[in-house]
Amino acid sequence: MESPPCQVCPTHRVCLAAGLEHRALTALAECVLSGAPMSRGEYVYRAGEPAEHCFVVRSGAYKTIVESANGDVHVIGFHFPGELLGLEGLADGVHRESAVALETSTACRFAVDDVPELWSMGSGRSLMRLVGRREQQNALHQLNLSRTAADARVAGFLVGLGRRMQRLGCSGTSLPMPMSRTDLANHLGMTLECLSRVIGRFGRSGLIAASRSRIVVEEPEQLAALAAHLDR
Amino acid sequence: MESPPCQVCPTHRVCLAAGLEHRALTALAECVLSGAPMSRGEYVYRAGEPAEHCFVVRSGAYKTIVESANGDVHVIGFHFPGELLGLEGLADGVHRESAVALETSTACRFAVDDVPELWSMGSGRSLMRLVGRREQQNALHQLNLSRTAADARVAGFLVGLGRRMQRLGCSGTSLPMPMSRTDLANHLGMTLECLSRVIGRFGRSGLIAASRSRIVVEEPEQLAALAAHLDR
DNA sequence: CGGCATTTTGAGAAGCATCAACTATTGTGG
DNA sequence: CCACAATAGTTGATGCTTCTCAAAATGCCG
């Protein structure tokens, strides 16, 4: 059940443990439990379940989805290490989204009732930082979705993902793509075919080099330019 | 400078003061300051300013906007009484958006450093509820933006706004529209012309009755149906 | 009442969705 | 380890919706 402690976790610099000292990390472990590894397709939580915990991604990647009344699903977002999961459950104690592992992944969880204790342990700031980041990310994605040109939406997504990877200490140009093209197209508000064409076009013009599970950004500046003002 | 205290505030049932007793409300006032009324166009905060406070809308309405590198602006969201403002500043202590009053409005503010105290006063749950609501709203709007049909996006927005109004104890069918059509179109990821046509079409078919600053929903169910599965 | 900003309406063009067929990849069982 | 089946992704042609550009009309403020 227990994963390695925070001290040896590669994510501990960007999660709730950010800035804590060795001793404090041990104390934190009383509130924050790291879950067992989950494999692709497993659910962290499902829409409709009571929401007593929030989660921080420790390794791997997750997606969050909502299901409309008529049954079609929408991919709300992708979540990489150090990012929060399950905030929407805070509204009324019930999850309104579902969270699914995209690959073998782990997540740490803390009870919403323990938030005051997290604060007294010195993790309050980190928690707020994560909430703020989530909000910024939402804003960025909305901005992206509001652009009508498909090229701009894809470019914007890649630029944003690059920034998130850099914050993790990873390369901002060699981007992991653990999600399916179908999921990504859904998330970006376009059809699978359209996304495929855009990626193909980007590849042919040398902007990126795409494989199924990774996209290497060859021309970051050109991509950023596309993201910024291809539209209007 | 001081507005009337929480006890007489019509919003106190849905904001940080939710569920607090008379005496606790007085204590809350030490952390939460209500600002002077702002008139249309005034800024609560601007992108780039240090973010030491978060805000809760008390009356009126605000919009939040971001400005791209190339100068064009995007309307992130509209904020009505009881809704949080300024969360994005938590990420790194600097606001990344700007918040602007859409009409004569007031907002209460609390310092991010005072969050532990808010907790001890019994407002922790309310704060988390508001954060959760914000997250839900973001998800809903993303879902909306990802729909390709303009009709569905407008219908979805109206349905969502109706729910927010109901939570305030207001009518869910007579919706205030303090924002300009330009702002709304921008927020919904379409052109002004397209929005105008959609509203005109909805009006002609009897779904809604629109005036500049208010939209009355005549056929809530038909509108909801449009929002759900006009698309795919 | 007049001027200005906002909104509505119109015609044409570009882009994406849709439908359909084809290709590649993954995973499974022999 | 290979063959095959199922899934995932690519490519192509067509029609519809929205964007764009342009002009008129409405409402608002002084």
Please report the residues numbered 146 through 175 in chain A whose beta carbons come closer than 8 angstroms to any beta carbon of chain B.
Answer: 146-148
pLDDT of residue A5: 73
User: Which residue of A87, A143, A145 is in closest CB contact with B135?
Assistant: A87
The pLDDT score that the predictor gives to residue B1 is 45
Give Cα separations from A206 to A154, A217, A222 (angstroms): 15, 9, 10
DSSP string spanning B86-99?
-GGGGTTSB-SSEE
Q: Which of residues 6-45 of B touch A (CB under 8 A)?
A: none
Q: Which residues of chain B lie closer than 8 angstroms to A128, CB-CB? A: 90, 112, 115
Residues of B in contact with A230 (CB under 8 A): none
The reply to whether B87 touches chain A by the CB within 8 Å rule is yes
Residue with the larger pLDDT of the pair A79 and A3: A79
In this structure, of A190-199, B35-44, B178-187, the range with the lowest mean pLDDT score is B35-44
Q: How many CB atoms lie within 10 A of CB A212?
A: 8
Q: Are residues A229 and B68, on separate chains, in Cβ contact within 8 Å?
A: yes
Percentage, residues of chain B above pLDDT 70: 97
Q: Contact B139/A88, CB-based, under 8 Å? A: yes
What pLDDT sits at residue B24? 87
- The pLDDT score that the predictor gives to residue B162 is 96
pLDDT value at position B219? 95
**Residue B89, phi then psi, degrees to nearest 5:** -70, -15
CA/C1' separation B41–D23 (Å): 30
User: pTM of the full predicted structure?
Assistant: 0.93
Quick check: helix, strand or coil at residue B26?
helix
Residues from chain B that touch A119, judged by Cβ atoms under 8 A, are 115-116, 119
How many Å does it take to go from CA A41 to C1' D5? Answer: 21
